[in-house]
Homo-oligomer: A and B are copies of this chain.
Amino acid sequence: MGIDHKRIDELIEKERKVFLADYKKIVESPSISSHPEHKKDIEETARIAREFLKQAGAEVTVYATKGNPIVFGHFHYSDNAPTVAIYNHLDVQPATKGKDGWTREPFTFTEHEGRFYSRGTTDDKGPAMTAFWAAKIARALKLPINIEFIWELEEEIGSPHFMEFLEKAKTTIKADSILVSDTIWIDRGKPSVTMGLRGLLTIIMKLQTGAKDVHSGVGGGAARNPLAELIAVISQCFDAKTGNITIPGFEKTWTRISDEEREHFVQSGFTVENFKKALGLSHLRYEKLSDVVERIWAMPTFEVHGIAGGYQEAGVKTVVPPQGEAKVSFRLVPPQNPDEIFTLFKNYIHKLNPDIEVIKEAVLAPYAAPRDLPLRNKIKEALHFAFGISPAEVHEGGSIGAVASMDKILQKPILFMGLSLPSDGYHGPDESFAWEQIQGGVKAFVKYFELLTQK
* Smallest Cβ-Cβ distance to A211: which chain B residue: B280
Interface centre among A219, A221, A307, A361 (most CB of B within 10 A): A221
Q: Is the CB of B311 within 8 A of A327?
A: yes
- Contact pick for A317, options B214, B227, B240, B305, CB 8 Å: B305
Does any Cβ of B come within 8 Å of A443's Cβ?
A: no
Does any Cβ of B come within 8 Å of A255's Cβ?
A: no
* Smallest Cβ-Cβ distance to A297: which chain B residue: B221
Q: What's the Cα separation between A291 and B313 when bound, in Å? A: 33
Type the 1/0 row for A195-214, where 1 means its CB is closer than 8 Å to any CB of B. Answer: 00010101110000111101
The residues in A between 390 and 434 inclusive whose CB is less than 8 angstroms from any CB of B are: 396-399
* Smallest Cβ-Cβ distance to A316: which chain B residue: B202
Q: Is the CB of B281 within 8 A of A214?
A: yes
Q: Is the CB of A232 within 8 A of B240?
A: yes
Q: What's the Cα separation between A234 and B235 when bound, in Å? A: 9
Q: Is the CB of B217 within 8 A of A228?
A: no
Q: Is the CB of B310 within 8 A of A310?
A: no
Does any Cβ of B come within 8 Å of A296's Cβ?
A: yes
Does any Cβ of B come within 8 Å of A159's Cβ?
A: no
Residues in chain B near residue A285, CB distance under 8 A = 221-224
Q: What's the Cα separation between A231 and B307 when bound, in Å? A: 10
Does any Cβ of B come within 8 Å of A335's Cβ?
A: no
Does any Cβ of B come within 8 Å of A362's Cβ?
A: yes
Q: Is the CB of A240 within 8 A of B225?
A: yes
Q: Is the CB of A310 within 8 A of B327?
A: yes
Q: Is the CB of A280 within 8 A of B217?
A: no
Q: What's the Cα separation between A229 and B282 when bound, in Å? A: 16
Type the 1/0 row for A287-310, where 1 means its CB is closer than 8 Å to any CB of B. Answer: 000011001100101011111111
- Contact pick for A234, options B198, B202, B231, B283, CB 8 Å: B231
Whether A243 touches B221, Cβ cut-off 8 Å, given contacts A203-B316, A228-B303, A329-B318, is yes
Type the 1/0 row for A310-330, where 1 means its CB is closer than 8 Å to any CB of B. Answer: 111101111111100001110
Q: Which residues of A contact B (CB under 8 A)?
A: 198, 200, 202-204, 209-212, 214-225, 227-229, 231-232, 234-236, 238-241, 243, 275, 279-286, 291-292, 295-296, 299, 301, 303-313, 315-322, 327-329, 331, 361-362, 396-399
Q: Please, could you name 29 A-B residue pairs with CB atoms under 8 Å apart, sorted by A?
A: A202-B315, A202-B316, A210-B279, A210-B280, A211-B280, A211-B281, A214-B279, A216-B329, A217-B331, A218-B279, A218-B398, A219-B275, A219-B279, A219-B281, A221-B299, A222-B284, A223-B279, A224-B285, A227-B305, A228-B234, A228-B240, A231-B307, A232-B239, A234-B235, A304-B310, A305-B319, A306-B309, A306-B311, A316-B362
